[in-house]
Amino acid sequence: MLPDRLSTILRCVVDEYVKTGEPVASRSIAERAASSVSPATIRSDMVALEEMGYVAQPHTSSGRVPTELGYKYYIEHFVRAERVEKIAKELRDAVNDADSPTTMLRAAARALADMSGNAAIVASSGTGSQVAGLGRMMAQPEFDDNTRRVDVAESLERAEIAIADLLRRVQEDEVTVWIGHENPMGAELASVVVRVRLPNGEIGMLGLMGPLRMQYGRNIGLLQEVKKLIDRSFDL
């Protein structure tokens, strides 16, 4: 556990980077932090966070970006599911208009991809897997770098095996987050997944996949909502 001030500064760095996609300067943190914290102290703390591996400094910038370790700390200590009632109707329509479990999962995946801006993963123990919205995901600035695009493309060539691995590992009732090197979908990616109940004892899974710079709270909220809708539909 980081000391409170370092923890707060790391949270500010991740919040700002997720919002803007740009390296975060000490000046930006100073504007958000309490007035009792001097800019010099924040600069020193940013160096300390970098030395501990929570942030990194791109060669072309004076600002910092979160590392995989920084994101993991942020997810564990700060991320909470966001309320998504305003868009629940879109998910509800996608679920209710389906005429089979397979079409329900795929319709839900398309809706999730549209609402999140990430790729959506769908799988079940009986009908295999599918990924929707890959073009939307790959259009994000993290994948402008050719080397990174190749790494992601090579990971996605093994997507069927990776999704099957996620399906085996996903928890019964909780939304689960895997990022970076612990993520079966690839080290450059984050996956947020949830297990759903289907008829005839089948296991289903829905997930969202994107860069580590992801709106985790929103995506967790979306998946909690779609799980609730699908589980209810089969309880009727």
Enter the CATH code of domain 85-235: 3.30.450.40
pLDDT at 119: 95
pLDDT beyond 60 at 236: no
CB hemisphere CA count around 119 (13 angstroms): 23
pLDDT beyond 70 at 232: yes
**pLDDT, average across residues 210-220:** 95
pLDDT beyond 70 at 213: yes
pLDDT at 221: 94
Alpha-carbon span 17 to 40, nearest angstrom: 21
- What is the overall mean pLDDT for the chain? 88
Domain boundaries defined on the chain: 4-77, 85-235
Q: pLDDT tens digits, residue range 38-95?
A: 888 899 999 999 999 999 998 767 789 999 999 999 999 999 999 876 666 777 777 7
Fold: same for 4-77 and 85-235: no
* Candidates 1.20.120.140, 1.10.1240.10, 3.40.1690.10, 1.10.10.10; CATH matching 4-77: 1.10.10.10
Alpha-carbon span 70 to 175, nearest angstrom: 20
Q: What is the pTM of this model?
A: 0.91
Helix (H) or strand (E) holding 176: strand 176-179
Cβ atoms of residues 196 and 227 within 8 Å: yes
